[in-house]
Structures are given as C-alpha cells and as structure tokens.
C-alpha cells in the first residue's frame, strides 16, 4: 500500500515536470513566431512604402486627373510613396534604379490650355505694337494666324514654353487672330480673338462757314477710320456756350473722308458774335479739335417790302422783258437770283449782288412762250426767301 502510494506521487511529479517543459517550449515557439511575423511585416512595409519612379514626357502622378507632378522632360526620376504621391528624394536613396510607371502610364492626348491675357477680345489699342501676354499649363509651341491679312501663314511666337510676353506689330484697323499652342506630343489647342488697332489720330480737315455770318447751319469734313463721336461747340461768353452731337451715320463718305452737316437754333445769339468748332473722337479715345471760327450771327430772312409790285412785264415790242424793281430789307445781301423752270437748261442766274438805296433793279429778256420763274433773295448768312412769278411772252 505504501509503495503504491509512493509510485502515484512520483508519477504525478514527473507529469508536472513534463507539463512545465512542454509549456516552456510552446512559449518559446510562440515568441519566435511573433518575432518572425513582425520582421516580415516590417520588411514588407519598408519595401512598399516608397519607390524610385521613372516618368516620361507628359506622365503625371498620382494620376492625370490629379497631377501633383508632371514630367515635362524626356525622362524624369522621382521618389514617390506607395500611393504615387511625390516625396523627399532621400527616402528612395537606397532603392536602386527607378522603375517605370507601369499600369498607370497613359498616352497624352490633351491639348495645352492657353490663357490669353493680351490681346483681349473686343479691345481697342491706340498703337500698332500690341502686347502678347500668354501663359500655358504645359510647355507649348505658340503661334498665331492673321485671319484677315495673314494669307494663311502661321507666325511662331515661342517654342515649348510656359509663357510668352512680348509686343508684336499689327495692322491698322480690325485684327482677327487665331492663337494656338502645340505640346511635345502634337496636341493642339487654338483660340480666336478679334480687336481694333487705331494708332492714327483723327483730323478735322475744315469746317464752314469760314467767314461772314452764321445762321445755325454748319458743316465739317474730317478723316478717321473709326470715328466714335463728333460734337459741335458754339456760343460766346455773353449768352453762353453750347454743344450739339452730330449723327456720324448720317454723314456722307468718300475715299476715307466724312462730310457732315448739322443745324442748331442760334436765334438768341442774333446780332452777336459767336465762336464755333468741332471736336472729333475715335474709338481708341484719341481726340482732335477743329480750328475755332468767329462769325456774326444773322438768323433773319431777307424781306421784300414791295412783295405785290416788285416786277412787271413790258408791253408791245417790249413784251419779252421783265422788269425787276425789288425793295429789300436786308443789310447783308449776298445775291438775288432767278430760275426759269421752262428753260432747256435749268440754272440759277444772278441779277443783283448789291443794292442801290435798298433796291435791286434789273431788266431780263425771255424767249417766246410760257414761263414760271423762281426769284430767290439770299443774304451772306445763307438765309433766303423765294417767290414764283408766271407770265407769257408772245
């Protein structure tokens, strides 16, 4: 009995010892396994964290939609993270030669995007040298085509550059240009722009009346390719100065010159002396003033005092004569003229250019037949009246 109990106790002790040994070995295996796992995990993480990448021209990382870096050379070497984001090159120093972008490589089919800061569409430039201020989102060869005067020939501005900033000499008047950019891969983007060049200052050639009297009717001749406004200035320091806009569209033109008429009411200046001139402005803001002219104002029409008896017809063999005895109230007479509406050749014929004691006296011969004759009296300011007489010569 005693020996059996001793054996049982001995066996239990031996089993406990073996169990401890097994547990000890199991813990060692577990620790070693965990250590190897972390070593492998660390190694994998270290290898995949960065890579030395080779890019060719036009390739972007992380992708073309989010181009944090784009290669504009034939070959670019770049250090990137495992997400293809550019990072410090020192982190790839020990990784050896670079690898290509591989599956992310895409053919560049996108044309360059140009930003044309100048010339601006619809702008007016007052000099023939116009600034070309153009930028591109990638190196591009920039050129332009003059669609009006260029004869289909492109003119190069710069080769494979991100910007161009320089003046170019252009034609006077409307310019219609096409500006294009072409990248290394032959992708082209073009833009149309039109504008005016007006470097020539406007010129007021002459105006009328130049001397004598003013009656409110004025005319002007000027040369300008792109007139914007024409203004008549007139008046004096007694009654005041005024302005009147002239309708340029209503002017006649001939060989680049404009001929314009304008009429204003200057009745309250009657008997006074006024000064007038024209001011011309073109679409580029250049302004020219005509010569100032001083004139006396006469807005009163001539008056025939003997309106019912200023003419009579001869009798008998003098029947072909009409006798004019016109009593006029006019201090500034220009002329008295007649127009025979039944003559073969219609023209005004002067019968008086001055007065004697306020009278215009003249005998005029007419051919046989019926006659309707207009009699016109005009003063030096251009004010005029007209009457018609009717008679027959037998």
Q: Is the pTM of this model over 0.85?
A: no
Give the three-class secondary structure for 302.
coil
Q: Which domains does the chain have, with CATH numbers?
A: 25-104 (no CATH), 114-197 (2.60.40.10), 203-297 (2.60.40.10), 303-393 (2.60.40)
Quick one: pLDDT at residue 25? Answer: 54
Quick one: pLDDT at residue 284? Answer: 86
Is pLDDT of 99 > 50? yes
Weakest mean pLDDT among 14-18, 80-84, 320-324: 14-18
Quick one: pLDDT at residue 102? Answer: 64
Task: Compute the mean pLDDT over every residue in the chain, rounded to the nearest whole number.
Answer: 87
Strands 321-329 and 303-304: antiparallel
Quick one: pLDDT at residue 205? Answer: 94
Strands laid side by side in the 349-352 sheet: 349-352, 333-340, 369-379, 384-393
Query: What residues contact residue 170 under an 8 Å CB cut-off, 6+ apart?
Result: 128, 129, 130, 146, 197
Which residue has tokens 């406990």? 16
pLDDT tens track for 37-77: 444 444 444 445 888 888 887 788 888 888 888 888 777 88
Comparing 378 with 66, the larger pLDDT belongs to 378
């Amino acid at each position: 009995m005693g020996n059996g109990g001793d054996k049982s106790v001995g066996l239990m002790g031996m089993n406990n010892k073996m169990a401890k040994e097994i547990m000890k070995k199991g813990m060692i295996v577990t620790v070693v396994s965990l250590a190897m796992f972390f070593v492998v995990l660390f190694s994998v993480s270290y290898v995949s964290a960065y890579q030395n990448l080779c890019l060719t021209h036009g390739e972007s990382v992380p992708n073309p939609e989010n181009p944090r870096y784009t290669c504009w050379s034939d070959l670019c070497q770049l250090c990137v993270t495992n997400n293809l984001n550019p990072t410090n090159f020192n982190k790839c120093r020990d990784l050896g030669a670079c690898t290509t972008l591989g599956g992310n490589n895409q053919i560049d089919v996108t044309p360059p995007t140009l930003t044309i800061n100048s010339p601006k569409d619809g702008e007016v430039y007052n000099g023939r040298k116009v600034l070309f201020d153009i930028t591109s989102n990638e190196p591009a060869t920039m050129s332009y085509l003059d669609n009006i005067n260029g004869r289909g020939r492109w003119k190069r501005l710069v080769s494979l550059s991100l910007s161009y900033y320089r003046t170019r000499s252009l034609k006077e008047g409307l310019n219609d240009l096409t500006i294009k950019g072409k990248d290394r891969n032959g992708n082209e983007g073009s833009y149309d722009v039109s504008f005016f060049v007006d470097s020539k200052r406007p010129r007021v050639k002459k105006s009328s009346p130049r001397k004598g009297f003013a009656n409110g009717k004025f005319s002007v001749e000027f040369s300008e390719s792109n007139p914007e406004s024409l203004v008549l200035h007139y008046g004096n320091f007694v009654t005041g100065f005024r302005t009147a806009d002239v309708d340029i569209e209503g002017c006649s033109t001939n060989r680049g010159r404009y001929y314009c008429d304008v009429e204003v009411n200057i009745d309250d200046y009657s008997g006074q002396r006024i000064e007038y001139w024209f001011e011309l402005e073109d679409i580029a803001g250049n302004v020219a003033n005509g010569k100032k002219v001083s004139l006396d104002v006469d807005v009163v029409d001539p008056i025939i005092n003997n309106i019912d008896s200023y003419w009579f017809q001869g009798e008998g063999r003098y029947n072909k004569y009409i006798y004019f005895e016109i009593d006029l109230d006019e201090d500034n007479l220009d002329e008295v003229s007649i127009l025979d509406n039944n003559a073969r050749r219609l023209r005004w014929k002067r019968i008086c250019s001055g007065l004697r004691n306020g009278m215009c006296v003249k005998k005029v011969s007419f051919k046989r037949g019926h006659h309707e004759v207009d009699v016109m009296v005009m003063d030096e300011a251009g004010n005029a009246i007209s009457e018609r007489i009717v008679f027959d010569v037998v």
